Chain A
Amino acid sequence: MTVQEAAEGLHSASPSPVSASPTAGPATARVPRRRRVVLTPYFLLIPAVAVLALAMGYPLVWQIITSMQQFGLAQQFGQPAPFVWFDNYARLAADPYLWTVILRSILFCFVTAAMTMAVGTLVALLLNVVGPVVKVVIQIAMLLAWAMPVVAAMTIWNWLFDWRRGVVNWLLTSMGFDFQDHNWLQNPLSFFFVAMIIVVWMSVPFVAFSVYAGLTQVSGEVLEAAQMDGASARQRFWNIVVPIIRPVLGIVLLLQVIWDLRVFTQIKLLQDAGSIASDTNLLGTYIFQLGTGSSNFGMASAVSIFVLVLTVGISAFYVRTMLKEEES
């Protein structure tokens, strides 16, 4: 079935005399033509819900159950898994290492997301002021960077920062700094610095395009009027531009936070290249190490659920605002 057929199906279905139901709340009043149709939205949701229930629902339920079991390799090979209820969680809560990793992850996530937002917004502003040729050049560069497969990109970045042959060391050394054989991944701080550069590099195109899209909604006349009234560039940005693009900034920031908090591939591949894993684990790699590495699937599941709750908690404020708007 094509999109079009589906759309037609929708339209032909809508006038069908399905009786009104009390579940159609007052909000329906805004779309009066649809008032009597209560089953249609459920039909429309079937494919999405079915695929989500199958491919995400089952693993989620498995993960919740497993997080309350003692589940190791023996259980995977058929031994019964004893229920320990919240023991895994209790052990995690008592483990200082987990808290170190959580703190580290949150810090990394916030700093990286903030950097990505700042750089992405600046690039978007830049796109708005440069001439058409430069604009196309920047857009193409961003698109190419965005299109790089993660494994390929990490191979390049690992190599750029390679301690012996890396171009970064070569450049810095040629500029007169002593970076000969400098190992970036050895020290956790500079490891995360490199990781941040890579993640920011990969995420900025999405942010820049989205924010640029938002900027095109800002009316030039209003800005000019404000300029004539004596508003400085800074004032114009914060008082006119930002409020208009606030929805874009909000959604993009939320996505960055979600993605950066569970960043995995980049950290794992950097760890493979160097660094001491326990000093550089973030939540993603820690779960991987517990589960895939140590076959402690019960604990790995517990950490996963924990991360889910943590992310929900961090984004709760935003989600609440969103829901309020939804209801209004």
Chain B
Amino acid sequence: MSSQIARVGGTPLPRRSSGARRATASRTAGRPRASRYLYGAIGIVVALIWIFPVYWMINSAMLPNVVLQSKTPTFLPFGGSLDNFVAVVSGGTFLPALGMSVVIALIVVACCLFFAFLAALAISRFHFRGRKGFVLAVLFIQMLPAEGLFIAQYKLMASVNLLNTVLGVSIIYIAAVVPFTIWMLRGFVAGIPADLEEAAMVDGLSRTQAFLRITFPLLAPGLVASGVYAFLQAWNEFTVALVVLQDNSSQTLPLWLRGFIQASVSKAIDWGQVMAASTLVAIPVIVFFLFVQGRMTSGLVSGAVKG
């Protein structure tokens, strides 16, 4: 990966066009029909396996609790309803938690991408004293187990008066996600030759135009892929939130979901409502994914290859 950065940085070749990439797909056309069907069948089975738990969650969310407690599973939500969803949302705590999570996720995604972009520029376009140390630190910092950190994180946030705040929890998340984002983005940044942009400026484009028309499109898949990663982390994180957001009015969705599950443990667990709650937590992510899906795959592709 890093060797590629050096190589790309040194010989400013444009990245393979997506057209060339698409051409590889045509390869499949020549395969014998039988094996295509076989692969297709295997593909469907794989898809079913991965989607089953997701399907099961939604299925259960539509069923009344009585049916769910049966020993024989009900596979189709016939006669299902949205009652569980209504019950969960009307509890009154879901929407504030949703708001909190959305704000945190957006802050984390925006800051991460920006910080990581700058850092990626630094390490892929410059050689400077401390560069190797920085790359190593970024790599190793991900290896520290987080389970023992909660006292330190609490003390940190208390000392700067950021407990129970969006900003406080966002800072911790950004720090947790930014190393990986830097890694991902530096491949992209290295892949964009600075000369391209400058050549465009020679042709009469302004710096802004050059950036918007030349650099940004090349960078976009990387930003999307890293953004998705940052979003997922911020959306799902839960142990830091537990310690730093102790106030009931500043819960994020994972805290809300866990509270919901725990509250129902001391009574009879209402699986239907728990599943409805889980579905509600997952839906925004799914929407976000579908929104960026096309770009993300290509982003992951080039990002991963460049490392």
- Do these two chains interact? yes
**A40-B126, A258-B143 known; A131 and B36 CB under 8 Å?**
yes
- In the complex, are the beta carbons of B305 and A55 less than 8 A apart? no
Query: Given the interface contacts A159-B271, A251-B307, does A262 sit within 8 Å of B143 by beta carbon?
Result: yes
A325 touching B3 in the complex, CB below 8 Å, given contacts A152-B281, A155-B275: yes
Q: How far is the CA of A40 from the CA of B51 in the complex (A)?
A: 47
Q: Which chain B residue lies CB-closest to A164?
A: B71
Q: Which residues of A contact B135 (CB under 8 A)?
A: 326
Whether A16 is near chain B, meaning CB under 8 Å from some CB there, is no
* Contact A252 B304, beta carbon cutoff 8 Å: yes
**B9 partner residues in chain A, CB cutoff 8 A:** 30-31
Interface size grouping (class) on chain A: 35 or more
Tell whether A54 pairs with B301 under 8 Å between CB atoms, given A143-B289, A149-B257. no
Interface bits A49-86 vs B (CB < 8 Å: 1, else 0) = 10110111011101100100000000010000000000
B288 surroundings in chain A (CB, below 8 A): 147
Residues of chain A in range 198-225 having any CB-CB distance to chain B below 8 Å: 201, 204-205, 209-220, 223-224
Q: How many angstroms between the C-alpha atoms of A312 and B40 in the bound complex?
A: 41
Stretch at the interface among A90-98, A108-116, A299-307: A299-307
A-side interface mostly:
helix
**Interface assignment of B93: CB less than 8 Å from any CB of chain A:** no
Interface residue B182 (Cβ < 8 Å from any Cβ of A):
yes
Q: How far is the CB of B206 from chain A (nearest CB, A)?
A: 10
Whether B253 is near chain A, meaning CB under 8 Å from some CB there, is yes
CB distance from B160 to the nearest CB of A (A): 8
Q: Considering the complex of A and B, which 7 residue pairs feature the smallest CB-CB distances, nearest first?
A: A213-B301, A152-B278, A55-B175, A59-B152, A44-B122, A41-B122, A141-B47
A: residues with CB less than 8 A from B are 1-4, 6-8, 10-12, 23-25, 27-28, 30-31, 33-34, 37-38, 40-42, 44-49, 51-52, 54-56, 58-60, 62-63, 66, 76, 123, 126-132, 134-135, 137-153, 155-157, 159-160, 164-165, 167, 170, 201, 204-205, 209-220, 223-224, 245, 247-248, 250-252, 255, 258, 262, 264-265, 283-285, 287-288, 290-292, 297, 300-301, 303-304, 307-308, 311-312, 315, 319, 322-323, 325-326, 328
